[in-house]
Amino acid sequence: MTGDGHTCNILVHIDAIVVDSICTTPSDHIFTIKDSTYSHDPSSPSPPPPPPQDTNTDPDFLLTSYTTLRHAVNSLSLSSSHSPNNPHPILPPQTLRRALSSLPRPASPAYLQPLGPSETHAHLLRDILPALNHQSLSPLYLGFVTGGVLPVAEAADNLVSALDQNVQVHFPLPPLPSSSSDPSRVPERDDDDDERWTHSASTAVEAAALGMLVALLGFDNGADWRGRTFTTGATAGNILGLACGRESVVNSRAAAAGAGAIKTVARDGLLAACRAGGVEGVQVLTSMGHSSLAKAASVVGLGQGSVREVGRPGEPWRLDLDAVEGELRKGEEDGVVSVVVVSAGEVNTGRFATNVLDMPKLRSLADRYGAWIHVDGAFGLFARALPKTDEFLGLHANVAGLELADSIAADGHKLLNVPYDNGIFLCRDASVLTQVCSNPNAAYLASPGDPNEILSPLNIGLENSRRFRALPVYAVLLSEGREGIAAMLSRMVLLAREISAFVRDSEHYEWLPNEDASLESTFIVVLFRAKDAALNEVLVDRINATGKMFVSGTKWDGRKAVRIAVGNWRVEVERDAAVVREVLTAVAEGR
């Protein structure tokens, strides 16, 4: 493409694939992958032979495959951005059918016959890629809570794949010979003869990324949150939160009971530790906890039924602290210990469980009754990174005091716009996390390092072998800084508020959960339904059928409702709000 973006002519030949890209303006960009020798016919008697030089050792394969991939994605992006030629950010059914019919069939003689890297890549670009959703490409993919991928995060993630680091054990740089006592001293130029070999910088980069995140989110005052790690997402973070909470509250009862060797959940198991501490049960108290919380409770052996709602009447997403206190007191009488989970924010409404004075009160209740506080901040935690301007003060009040919790889960793959799968878990007391996650008895995985240095990730998380998922986060934090991230989050919130205002003022729609709420209670989620009951039944489908935006559905008060969740870095408030207003008006008027 030329500098002015108006004329280009790209013809790339890659073995059997021919990519022919011709454009005159960005909006009429045409991209085609011409059929190659690969044609997947399930009924064909014999598989096509792979081209003779099509091997994994072809030095150009990755270069060319990546170039063609980016051209293909760019052409999808152009068709996703409301161009007059193709304003549809969602998939036509025939694209999906084509992808499904291209999948290998076990009955075919070609099944599991080698296709070779180039042919395989051609198939991925031609048949699979067009049938994937465009959530990361379109600011108007407003379903679920997905986020997109900042280009710098994608570039970092490619580096992760290119070098396939396994970030599990921290091997520190061995100390310099007697001349220096500072093992972290970076060798100077004239240290070229430094003979200390080390393993990888990945654990140090991961630690740097976690440190920057902790600072960005304002958790760097007071507690050090040394128990910190990257997870696969907030579900894994909730599993860790309940596991740490269970470990702490049950063990402290077992320790208080005193007799003989102290039992712990990690070493002796939940049943033995509960028996030793006279614990009859573990309950999880929450207000509209995300569904993954019940899953986490099942995984850590508490059971889905241990999750109990203690939300305020009329505002079920808000923790009712009087009810929490009642349950903690009753639990104490009945031998039931508790983990309190703060939903910051709640996935249907985007509202928060606490407000500015609630967390100190909750902390003092938890200390009095020996409970653990876990925050599920999958998307809402990032409200702490919004600018501290008047329009966001209400949201800051919602997330004030979360630093008083014992553990916190959040997602990188949502509002931070790094690729799936990426989550963050913080635990105030690193020793609890280490006790839960220590990988014992593997001499070959032992870190020779100082335990006060970076903790080996395999001892503070669920996995042993782990992807270097810290790198895209590191890249985003470095590239955008506080300011860039605050600006990105502001755009998301302001678009959500524009949509809230439209829905609130529209004669056709009902703004949920309460129409008299302040617009400033909107974070990134907008919940609403059609006033016309018949339209409401099909509202999600009608909106999505326009092809101009994508929303997902839910239920509120037992009736269908639509959720809009804004989470893509590409958001432009006025442009995108205009499309949403136009679509919702047209759908309501039956146009």
Ligand X SMILES: Cc1ncc(COP(=O)(O)O)c(C=O)c1O
Whole-number minimum distance, CB 132 to ligand X, in Å? 18
Chain residues 403-422 in contact with ligand X, contact rule CB under 6 A: 411
Taking residue 94's Cβ as centre, other Cβ atoms within 10 Å add up to 9
- Please provide residue 529's backbone torsions phi and psi, each rounded to the nearest 5 degrees: -145, 165
User: Which of 310, 306, 281 lies closest to 296, judged by CA?
Assistant: 306
Q: In angstroms, what is the minimal distance from the CB of 347 to ligand X?
A: 4
Dist CA 383 CA 405 (whole Å): 16
Q: Closest CB to ligand X among 173 and 512?
A: 512
Task: Pick from 115, 205, 342, 378 the residue near ligand X by CB under 6 A.
Answer: 378
For 103, the 3-state DSSP assignment is coil
Minimum CB separation from ligand X for residue 423, in Å? 6
Residues 310-349 that bind ligand X (CB under 6 A): 347
In the complex, the smallest distance separating the C-beta of residue 378 from ligand X, rounded to whole angstroms, is 3
Measured from the CB atom, the residue of 355 and 506 that comes closer to ligand X is: 355
Q: Of 460, 430, 431, 428, whose CA–CA distance to 447 is shortest?
A: 460
DSSP E strands, 37-150: none
Question: Which residue is nearest to ligand X, using beta carbons?
Answer: 233
The nearest distance, CB 559 to ligand X, in angstroms, is 21
Helix, strand, coil content of the chain in percent (nearest 5): 40, 15, 40
**By CB under 6 A, is residue 379 in contact with ligand X?**
yes
Size of residue set near ligand X by CB under 6 A: 12
Residues contacting residue 591 through CB under 8 Å, at least 6 positions apart: none
Q: How far is CA 147 from the centre of its chain?
A: 8
Looking at beta carbons only, is 130 or 237 nearer to ligand X?
237
The residue within the footprint of ligand X, chosen from 292, 306, 456, 459 (CB under 6 A), is 292
Nearer to ligand X, 76 or 234 (CB): 234
Provide the minimum distance between the beta carbon of 410 and ligand X in the complex, in angstroms, as a whole number.
9
233 binds ligand X (CB under 6 A): yes
- Of the residues 15, 376, 463, 510, which one makes contact with ligand X according to CB under 6 A: 376
Contact stretch for ligand X (CB under 6 A) within 41-49, 231-239, 480-488, 551-559: 231-239
Residue 407 contacts residue 374 (beta carbons within 8 Å): yes
Partners of 547 in the β-ladder: none
220: burial class by Cβ within 10 Å (0-12, 13-18, 19+)?
A: middle
Helical (H) or strand (E) element with 534: helix 533-537
- CA–CA dist 490, 487 (Å, integer): 5
456-485: which residues touch ligand X (CB under 6 A)?
none
| Contact partners, residue 504, CB within 8 Å, separation at least 6 | 511, 515, 519
Q: Does 235 help bind ligand X (rule: CB under 6 A)?
A: yes
**SS3 of residue 281 by DSSP:** strand
**Options 62-70, 221-229, 372-380, 581-589: segment touching ligand X (CB under 6 A):** 372-380
Give the one residue of 73, 115, 125, 145 binding ligand X; rule: CB under 6 A: 145
Near ligand X by CB under 6 A: residue from 290, 351, 374, 570: 290
- Which position among 137, 210, 216, 234 is part of the footprint of ligand X (CB under 6 A)? 234
Distance CA 42, CA 110 (A): 7
Residue 490, token pair as written in the block: 């502001």
Site residues, ligand X (CB under 6 A):
145, 233-235, 290, 292, 347, 376, 378-379, 411, 423
